[in-house]
Amino acid sequence: MRKLLLVLLLALAACGQAPTPLEVTNVYPPDGYHGFTKSDDISIEFNRPISLDSFVTAYRSTSDGLRPEEIAFSLQDGGRKLVIHPAHPLLYSPNEDYLYYGFELGSEMRGLNGERLSAPLEVSFTTMRTLTTSLLCESALDGSATQTTVENDGVALFVGDNVYDAPVRSFLAFAWPEQSDGVIAAQLRLPLAAAQNSPMADLGPLYIEPVDLGEALEVSDFSASALADPLSEDGSGWAGGNVASYDVGDWAQQAWEDGRPRLDLRLRFATESDGDGVADALAFFAREAEDTQGAGSLPTLELTYYGP
């Protein structure tokens, strides 16, 4: 009899205990996040399965693209993970200002067995911004090459021919900024360090063309196929000073769309040797010269892109 009474008391105590509340265990993007992309989904993870009907009631947003009628949603992980997919990609900021989005889950949110949400959830985040930066060459990939040799640890890049009448080509490589999500525009800035003899007259014009250098600068890159028709420089680009500029936005956008990690460029002359036994070449400072010459004296890529 006593044992039966004890069992009944325990059962009554258990019935009186409050159920474990519904809790959010993880959110993407978290509150205050910068850099949500057009391919991202919002995800909310809970400590127990949720009621989807209660989510419809509890979800609120006044942000364009996140209003209840502008999203689709689904459950994963046995009902413990809610995925919210905007029907249309969220807009990016057209400038450096942050463009904010937000949503909340109210107290109406319930677990599958009626568990109450322990605290309302409010999340504010931003998408990508339109940013501009100056990129220097990758020191491991900028350099010069002949048909048999590669030099990529010096302070200068050469394009033209050498005293043995061997053609010399130069290479530049500009890696995308971390967390970038698209290229908008790109301008190559090419300061001329020096000219040896008369390369423009004897070998010109100078051609600039996109290539794919792969993981390292190699001899084979000398003759690798160009990825587009070259830009042509007859010397007038340096007529007003020692810096010439070129619009390479189309090449940069294509490199991004192709999934390449950089914009790689090759410089060569239309006539690569005049056979006179005299070196005719243009010289540009390599990345290794940054400490002695300053970044302003080096080739740079002025890149406009989407970033956080």
Any idea what the CATH number is for the domain that residue 123 is in? 2.60.40.3710
Which of 127, 148, 172 corresponds to the end of one domain? 127
CB count in 10 Å sphere of residue 207: 19
Tokens of 47: 């400590």
For residue 240, the model assigns a pLDDT of: 72
- Cα distance between residue 133 and residue 255, in whole Å: 17
The token duo for 220 is: 């084979």
pLDDT above 70: percentage of residues in the chain? 94
Q: Which residues contact 240 (CB under 8 A, 6 or more apart)?
A: none
Per-residue pLDDT tens digits for 130-171: 999 999 999 999 999 999 999 999 999 999 999 999 999 999
* 65 within a domain of the structure (yes/no): yes
Using one digit for the tens of pLDDT, what is the confidence trace for 112-132? 999 999 999 999 999 999 999
pLDDT in tens, 179-217: 999 999 999 999 999 999 999 999 989 999 999 999 999
State which residues form the domain around 146: 132-307
Question: Based on the structure, what is the number of domains in the chain?
Answer: 2
Evaluate whether 72 touches 82 at the Cβ level (below 8 Å): no
Q: Which of 93, 127, 161 is the last residue of a domain?
A: 127
Q: Is residue 206 included in any domain, yes or no?
A: yes
DSSP 110-136: BBTT-PBBSS-EEEEEEE-EEEEEEEE
Q: Comparing C-alpha atoms, which of 218, 157, 210, 152 is closest to residue 183? A: 210
Q: Is residue 10 part of a domain?
A: no
Mean per-residue pLDDT, 268-295: 95
What's the rounded Cα separation, in Å, for the pair 51 and 116?
11
Judge contact between 193 and 158, C-beta under 8 A. Answer: no
